[in-house]
Amino acid sequence: MLRKLEQNSTSERLIDAALTLIDTSNGIQQVNLREVARLAGCAHTNVYNYFQNFDDLLWEVFARLLERWERYVQEHCQADLPPDRILIDFIAAQIQFALDHPGWYRCIWLEPLFRNSPPHILNKFLLLRDHFIQVLMDSSGNWMKTEQIEFIENVMHGYLHGEICNLISGRMLVPDTQAYKTMILTNAQTVLSALLRD
């Protein structure tokens, strides 16, 4: 029987080790079970005392990444902004997270995952989506219908993460990082305004 994650420091060390490796390796591709166990200070066979397999460990790591991303964005967004600044602040925080932790960002949005996601992962994604929808509602004056705001969130999400992927992969249209960040923020406002008019 597997031991409970929240009550075991070894399982937490394994999760922290994987998070560190993903961050320092710029993604999940170079992360393997033996290296995670080595960094956590235990034998690789010890992992199976806490997780069914390596994929299960990685799903738990993925859940922690989503929590860290959400916490980072919340901590870097100011309270009580005027509506026209709420979205920009939110997007700027996401861009900065990707610049500070490109490996984590790649793992969340770009890396192929292992099998069907567990329900708690999907629930976390839905909570993140709901947060983005609320940001869009707040920045537009809370007058849109649910179907309209969900469509806008989907388009904005695709634009935003496409540009961030260009940024962290060095495929920027503008060679200066700060200038590219400014371009993303300006374009996001333009995209939102266009979508709100339709």
- pLDDT digit string (tens) for 36-80? 999 999 998 988 999 988 888 999 999 999 999 999 998 999 888
Whether 85 has a pLDDT exceeding 60, the answer reads yes
Residues 6+ apart with CB under 8 A from 89: 77, 78, 81
**110 vs 8, which has greater pLDDT?**
110
pLDDT at 7: 52
Which residue in 147, 154, 161 sits closest to 192, CA to CA? Answer: 154
Residues 6+ apart with CB under 8 A from 185: 88, 91, 92, 95
pLDDT at 33: 93
Whether 3 has a pLDDT exceeding 60, the answer reads no
The CATH superfamily label for domain 5-197 reads: Tetracycline Repressor, domain 2 (1.10.357.10)
Backbone angles phi, psi at 26, to 5 degrees: 60, 35
Q: How far apart, in Å, are the Cα atoms of 20 and each of 14, 15, 16, 37, 38? A: 10, 9, 6, 12, 12
Start-to-end CA distance of the chain, whole Å, equals: 56
Tell me the domain boundaries of the chain. 5-197
Whether 5 has a pLDDT exceeding 60, the answer reads no
Between CA 26 and CA 192 the distance in angstroms is: 31
pLDDT at 114: 61
**111 Cα distance to chain centroid:** 12
The pTM for the full model equals: 0.86
Share of the chain above pLDDT 70, in %: 93
pLDDT at 156: 92
Between CA 70 and CA 48 the distance in angstroms is: 29
- Looking at residues 110-127, what average pLDDT do you find? 80
- Count, residues in the chain: 198
pLDDT at 18: 96
- Looking at residues 95-112, what average pLDDT do you find? 91
Between CA 35 and CA 26 the distance in angstroms is: 15
Range with top average pLDDT, 103-117, 153-167, 169-183: 153-167
